[in-house]
Amino acid sequence: MAANNPKLSRRQFLKASASAVISLAVVGSAAYYFKDKSSVLKTGVIRPPGSRDEEEFLYACIKCGLCVQICPVHAIKLADWDHYLSYGTPYIDVNQQACDFSCDAIQCAETCPTAAINFKIFKHAGDKAIEELTKKYNGQLPPNVNPFEVQIIAMREADKMGVAKIPDPNQCLAYHGHGYKGKLGKTHSLLRPPGSQERIYIDEVEVNREICDLCVAYCPLGDHAIELKELGNGKFLPEIKDGCVGCGVCQMLCPTEPKAIVIEPFKGLETA
C-alpha cells in the first residue's frame, strides 16, 4: 500500500479550497447579475391572465407547459435562457400574439396544476357577477339572460396583466385625423373579433378606416377598456379606461412603428 503523502494532500486541499472560493464568487456574481437584470420589465411582455405576483409565480410555476398547449391562439410561450430567473416560465409577447380571451373560460388558469396562474380570482369574479345580477332581479335571473355571458365579462376584467398607455400622441394616426388602409396586422397572428365566434389571421384581412381606430374596434373588452375620444379639429385619441386589463390586442394591431399604444406590464416577465 502506498504511504500517504502529506504534502500532496495539503496541495490538493489548497487547490480544492481555492476552487471553492472561486466557484462561490462566480455564483454570487451571477446571482447579483440575475437579480439586477430581472428587475427590468420589457414593454409588451406580460404573464398570462391570473398569474400571481412575480416572486410567488416563480416559486409556484413548475414549467410544465400546459398553459402553452391549451391556449387557442398560441399566445403563451416559454421563456428562453436570456430571460434569466424566468427561464422556462410562461409569458406573452403581445407584439407576436396577444391574449384576446378567445377561450372565454381563461383555460390557461383552469389547467395550471399549481395555481401559479390562479383560476380562483376568475371563478370568484364570475360568481359575484351572477350574485349581483340575481339580487337586481329579486332573486332570479331573467329567462333571456345567459349566465355564462355575464360571467365571461366579469372574468375577463378580473385580473390586470398590465395597462395600455400612449407614450407619444404624435405617433397615433387618429391624433392627426388620419385613417388606415391595408392589412389588419403585419404578423400572422390570430384574433377573434368582438362579437364573432371565428378566429382570423390578422395579416389576411384588409381594412379601410376613415379614422384609425383598430385598437378600439377590436378590443375584446370594448368600451369598458378603451374609447376613441374626439379632441376637435379632426383629431382623435384613444382613451384608456379602468376596464383595461393589458391583454395587448391594441398593441398587436397598432399599425405604426414604433407602436402608438403599448402595454405596461403589472406582472411582467423578468428580462433584460
How crowded is the C-beta side of 96, counted as CA atoms within 13 Å?
A: 10
Single-letter residue type at 126: G
pLDDT 10s digits, 150-182: 899 899 999 999 999 999 999 999 999 999 999
Return the pLDDT at 252: 97
Whether residue 39 has pLDDT greater than 70: no
Tell me how far apart the alpha carbons of residues 65 and 185 are, in angstroms, rounded to a whole number. 28
Whether residue 93 has pLDDT greater than 70: yes
Return the pLDDT at 10: 58
Whether residue 29 has pLDDT greater than 90: no
pTM more than 0.85: no
What's the rounded mean pLDDT across residues 212-240?
96
What's the rounded mean pLDDT across residues 101-118?
94
What's the rounded mean pLDDT across residues 83-95?
88
Q: For residue 259, what pLDDT band results from cuts at 50, 70 and 90?
A: very high
How crowded is the C-beta side of 238, counted as CA atoms within 13 Å?
A: 32
Average pLDDT over the chain reads 85
Return the pLDDT at 186: 87
Q: For residue 95, what pLDDT band results from cuts at 50, 70 and 90?
A: very high
Whether residue 128 has pLDDT greater than 90: yes
Return the pLDDT at 140: 84
